[in-house]
A and B are shown apart, each in its own frame.
Chain A
Amino acid sequence: MIEKKTIIAPATASGRGGISVIRMSGPRSEVIAQEMCGQLADPWRFKRCEIRSGENLVIDSCMVVFFKSPHSYTGDDVIEFHCHGNPTIVNLVIETAIKLGAVVAEPGEFTKTAFLNDKIDLAQAESVADLINAQSESAVIAANSSLTGKFSDAINNILDELTAIRVFVEANIDFPEEDVDKSLLNTCVDRLKSLSDQTTQLISSTVGGVKLRDGYSVAIVGPPNAGKSTLLNLLARENVAITSDIPGTTRDLVKVPVNLDGVLIEFIDTAGMRDNPENEIEKEGINRSREVIEKSNLSLVVQDANRIVEFDFGMEDFISVYNKCDLYGGQKKNGEGVFYITATTGQGVPELLKGLVNKLDIDEGQETAFLSRQRHVSCLTEGGLRIDESLTSLEEGQGLELVAENLKNSHRVLGEILRPLSSDDLLGEIFSEFCIGK
C-alpha cells in the first residue's frame, strides 16, 4: 500500500531572525519527529526538545508541537519545529526529516491538503494565498474575513435559501396531487426577489473585493516629453518601501506599485504618444499603450502646461494633469478632473493623488467585506442571472419546470465557488499561486 506523503517545508521566510518555523504534515510526521527529538509532549502542547541529526549531533534546541489529526491545519498529523532563526539550522532540520522519509512540500501543498481533507472550502483556500500576498491593511482584514469563512457564509446563505425554494418548487412538480400549498408558490416570488437583491449586493462587495485584491491600475499617458516619467519617479520615490527597477526612458512599459492610503495602485508609464508615429517601434509602443489604457481603471493624461497638444486615445475615465507649472504663467486653478503640478518639485502632487482616490471611487471609510477573485464574480453573476430568469419564468407563468431549471443552474454555479465540480484545472491553477510552506 502506498502511503500518503509526509511533507515538510519552512513556514517562515528564509533569512536570519528570532525564530524560524518548519512545518511537517502527513501520516509519518509524528514518528519522524520522535526520531529527531525523542518523546513529544501531548498533542497541542509545546515542548522544548533537542533536535538531533542522523549522526546523532544536536542541531538545535527548539520548541516542538504536535497537532494530531484531524485537528490540525491540514487535517493530517502536523508537527511544527520552532527553531532558532538561522537558514543553516532550517536546512539541517529539513534534511534530517527527509532522510527519515519526509519529502519537500510543493508550493501551497499544506493548504491544498487542508482543502482535500475538507478542512476548508475553496474560497477559504484562496484567501490563504491572498492573506499572505496582501499588501495593505484593508486587504489583510478582508482576506482574513474570507479565511474565517465570512464570504463562504454569505454564499452558503444564498445556497440554503435556494435549496429551500427548490424543494418547494420540485414538490409542486412531483406531487401535484398532494396538497402542496399553492399560496406558498406566490411567496416564492418575494423570496426570489430578495434572493436576487442579496446576490446583487454580494456581487458588488465581491467586485470591491477583487479590486482590493488585485488593486487598481492607473495609466500615465500623454504626448512625449510632458514629464510622465518624472511624475512616476516621484511617485516611486515617495514610497521607499516599494522596490522597483525603473529603467531610463524606453518604449517599454514601466510599472510602479504604490500603496496609497492602504490601497494598492499600480501606475503604468506608457510611451509618449503622438498622432503621427514616426517609425515602427513607436507605432508598436503606441499599440501597447492603447491596450494599457483599455485595461486600466483610470488614465492620467499628462501634458506640458506650456505646450498643450491635442491628445485623444480613446480614454474613457481620465484626469488631466498639467505639468511644468513652475514655468507656466497662466491660471493654475485645480478643477473637476484637472490638476496643475510641477513634477520636478512635487508641487501639486498631493492634491492630484487625493483627486485620484476620489475619482477611483475608493471609499476609504467603508471596509470591504472580503477579498475576492474574478472567478467569484463570474460565478455570482451567472448565478444571479439564473435567479432573475427563474423569477421571470415564475411571474410570466411559464412552466414551473423552467423555474426549476434556472434555480438548479443557479445553485450549481454558486456552489462551484466553494466546491468546484470539475476540479482538475481549477485546483491546479489556484494552488500554483501559493508559496512554499503554505
Chain B
Amino acid sequence: MNKYDVVVIGGGHAGVEAAAVASRFGVKTALITHDSSKIGEMSCNPAIGGIGKSHLAKEVDAMGGLMAKAADKAGIHYRVLNSTKGQAVRATRVQTDRELYKSAVQELVNNENNLTVIEGSVIDFKIKNSQIKAVLIESGEEFSSETVVLTTGTFLGGVMHTGLEQSPGGRVGDPSSEKLAKKLRSLNLSVGRLKTGTPPRLNKHTIDWSILTPQPGDVPTPLLSYTSKKEERPKQLDCFMTRTNKETHQIIMDHLHESPMYSGVIEGVGPRYCPSIEDKVMRFSERDSHQIFAEPEGLESDLIYPNGISTSLPLKAQAALIRSIKGFENAEIVRPGYAIEYDYFDPTGLKHSLETKAIEGLFFAGQINGTTGYEEAAAQGLMAGINAALKTKKQNAFVLKRDEAYTGVLIDDLVSLGTKEPYRMFTSRAEYRLILREDNADMRLTEKGRNLGIVPDELWEKYLQKKRQSSLEFTRLKKVKLQPNTIEAEYIEHQSGEKISNNISLFEMLKRPKVFHSHLPQGSDELPTNVIDEIEASVKYEGYIKRQKADIDKLQRNENTPIPETIDYKNVVGLSNEVKQRLSEARPESLARASRLPGITPAAISLLMVHIKKGRRLVG
C-alpha cells in the first residue's frame, strides 16, 4: 500500500503551494491531481497580483512559495496599480503567458525533494473515528495518510453554464468531481454553492488594434518575487483598452432572460467585486459604458482575454455584444464565456490552521473555502501545507495574525466570519494596512519561514542583505545633515518645493510628505528599489504606524486571553441564546477572535470576560 505523510489533492494554485511547502519539512508528500500537464493551470485570466492580491503573492514568496517566481518567469506585462498613492496600497499586477506560467510551476514542483506527483481522480476518503486515514482514486488505488489537504477548486459538483445550456465540468475542458463531491456532502460539513464566470476568448487576428488605446507596461518593469532576476523575464507586450457602449448594454438587456443568473437557473452567489457584465449593466444602470482591457494570453497565443466582460449569456448574444464594441466589430469568439457553479464549504468549520473541525487531519485550502482568485488560493495552500506538515510532526499550528500578514487577515476573516459570496482580498480588509505592505512582506515573514525550515538559502541571503542595506541606510540618513543654501538643499527644494532653513538630517527631511529618497544626496552604495521603498514607507508612515502598534498592543490583551476549550457557553450568564449558539458553533480560541464573530457585541464580550475571570478564580 502507498503510505504518505501528507497527501495534497488538486494541482491548482492552492495545491502546488501546499505540496511544495509540506515536502520542505522533509515529510513524504504526494500531490494527486487529474492531469499532471495541467498543474498550475490558470482557469481564468492569466494574471497574478492586483490590489490586495499582490500583497498575498509577495507574502507567499517571502516564505519561499512558488507563485511569484513562476509569474516572473512568465510575466509579459507589468503594472504598479495605485502608483500615485502611498506604498501601502501600491500593488503589482503581472500579465503572464499562460503556457509559460504552467511550465514554470511544473518545473518548480518537480524540483522539490520528497514530493511525488500522482495522476488520478480522487473519489473517496477513508475516515475512522473522525480521523482521516486514506484517499482513494478512481483506478482503485489507495493512498494512506493521516494528513490530507483538499484543494479541488471549482471542481466539486461543478456545473458550467452558457446561456440556458449547462454541462458538468470543473472548468472548460476538465471533468467535475462528482463522486468526491458526493462523499464530502455526506460528511459533517456545511456545504453551499457559489458561482464565478469568465469572458469569451477572442481571436487576436480579428481585432482592429489600430483604433484601440494601447496601455504599455510600466518602465522600469518591476518584479513580483523577491528573488527573481530581470533576465528571467520574457519579452514585454502592450495591453489595449476599449469600452462597452449603449448598444452593448441594450443587447445585454434584450438577452437577460437567457442568462442563467437572471432566469434563476444559477442559485450560487457570484463575486460582487468581479461581476459579470450582466451584473454591471443591471447594477449600474446609470452608466452607459464600462472599461475593457484586451489582454494577450501569451507571447505565442492567438487568444485575447477581454478583461471586464465576463458573461454567461448564450453564444449568439455573446457574439452580438462583442461585435458592438469598438475594435471588436469583426472579432471572432474562439471560446465562449461561461459561468461555473460549484460546492464550497462554510469556512467557519475550519480552525485557524485550516484543518477542518469535523475531521482530524483533513485540511481545506483554496476556492473550496469560498474564496476566489489564484493568490487567495496560494496563500491558503501555503498555510495548509505548513500546518499539515507540522501536524505530522506533532508540532503546534503556525498561524499568522492580522497585524502580521494579509494571509492572516484572509484566514481569520474566513474562519471567523465565513463568507456568503466568493471572498476576494482587498486592502480595506486589513486594519493594519500601513504595516502590511508589498515592500516589507519579506521583513515581516521571511524569518518566520526560515525558522520553519521552508525558506531556501537564496531567499534567505537576499533577505539578510536587504536587512543589512536598510539598516546602514537608516544610519546614514540619521547621521547626514543638510545645510541651507547648499547645492543639495537647492536640489531638494527644486524637486519637492520643500525649503531647508536650518540644519536638518536627511531622515527628518524624508518625513516631509513631498520629499522622496531620490531627492536626497545618495550614499556610496546604489540601493535596490525594494530597499528604498521599505525605507520610504517606514519613515513616512512612522507616526501612523506607532499608533497602529499601540492599538495592536491593546488588542493583544484580548488576543492573549484564551477562552478555555472546555467552556460551556450555556453557562455564561447574560448571553442571548443566539449569541450562545454562535459561540458554541464557532468555538473561538481567544476573546479577540470571539469579538470578530458576526453578531457578537462588545457587551457579549464583557460578559464572556467576566465569566472567564470567574472561572480562573475558581480554579486558581
Contact = CB atoms under 8 A, between A and B. Distances in A.
Are A and B part of the same complex? yes
Interface in B590-606: 601-606
Interface stretch (A230-238, A306-314, A401-409): A401-409
A404 B554 CA distance: 21
B290 A2 contact: no
A118 B601 contact: yes
A423 B607 CA distance: 10
Contacts of B464: none
A116 interface: yes
A1 interface: yes
Contact of B89 (A118, A399, A422): A399
A177 B606 contact: no
A52 B484 CA distance: 92
Most chain-A CB neighbours within 10 Å: which of B85, B431, B558?
B85
Given A402-B544, A405-B434, A179 B88 contact: no
Contacts of A170: 426, 428
B602 A2 contact: no
Contacts, number: 88
Contact of A424 (B81, B89, B287, B609): B609
Given A174-B52, A399-B85, A422-B554, A1 B291 contact: no
B573 A427 contact: no
B603 A115 contact: yes
Contact of A405 (B82, B433, B557): B433
A419 B604 CA distance: 12
Contact of A116 (B87, B558, B574): B574
A5 B573 contact: yes
Interface string A403-436: 0110011000000000111111001000000000
A402 B554 CA distance: 22
A113 B81 CA distance: 50
A401 B576 contact: no
Given A5-B573, A405-B433, A177 B86 contact: no
A290 to B, nearest CB: 34
Most chain-B CB neighbours within 10 Å: which of A2, A3, A420?
A2
Nearest to A171: B428
A115 B604 CA distance: 10
A401 B602 contact: no
Contacts of B394: none
B287 A179 contact: yes
A170 B431 CA distance: 12
A239 interface: no
B544 A117 contact: no
Contacts of A1: 570-571
A404 B432 CA distance: 12
Given A118-B601, A179-B291, A401-B86, A4 B574 contact: yes
B243 to A, nearest CB: 9
B318 interface: no
Given A174-B428, A405-B544, A421 B602 contact: yes
B573 A423 contact: no
Interface string B347-389: 0000000000000000000000000000000000000000000
A396 B426 CA distance: 25
B427 interface: yes
A419 B547 CA distance: 21
B564 interface: no
B277 to A, nearest CB: 13
A401 B603 contact: no
Most chain-B CB neighbours within 10 Å: which of A173, A177, A398?
A173
Given A2-B573, A177-B81, A179-B287, A423 B88 contact: no
Contacts of A419: 601-602
B513 interface: yes
Contacts of A2: 570-571, 573
A405 B540 CA distance: 13
Contact of B573 (A4, A174, A176, A405): A4
A398 B603 contact: no
B51 interface: yes
Interface in A116-134: 116-118
Interface in B548-563: 554, 557-558
Contacts of B87: 399
Nearest to B602: A423
A408 B287 CA distance: 30
B539 to A, nearest CB: 13
A336 interface: no
Nearest to A400: B85
A421 B555 CA distance: 10
Contacts of B574: 4, 113, 116
Interface in B261-298: 273, 287, 290-291
A178 interface: yes
Contacts of B82: 173, 176
B91 to A, nearest CB: 9
Nearest to B88: A401
Most chain-B CB neighbours within 10 Å: which of A2, A115, A423?
A423
Given A176-B85, A179-B291, A424-B610, 8 more contacts: A1-B571, A174-B426, A178-B291, A399-B89, A400-B85, A401-B434, A405-B434, A419-B602
Interface of B: 51-52, 81-82, 85-89, 273, 287, 290-291, 426-428, 431, 433-434, 513, 544, 547, 554, 557-558, 570-571, 573-574, 576, 601-607, 609-610
Interface of A: 1-5, 113, 115-118, 170, 173-179, 396, 398-402, 404-405, 408-409, 419-424, 427
**Shortest 9 CB-CB contacts between residues of A and residues of B:** A399-B86, A170-B428, A1-B570, A116-B603, A423-B606, A174-B426, A423-B602, A2-B571, A399-B85
21 contacts: A2-B570, A4-B573, A116-B603, A116-B606, A116-B607, A174-B51, A176-B51, A176-B82, A179-B290, A179-B291, A398-B86, A399-B87, A399-B89, A400-B86, A401-B427, A401-B434, A409-B547, A420-B602, A421-B602, A422-B558, A423-B603
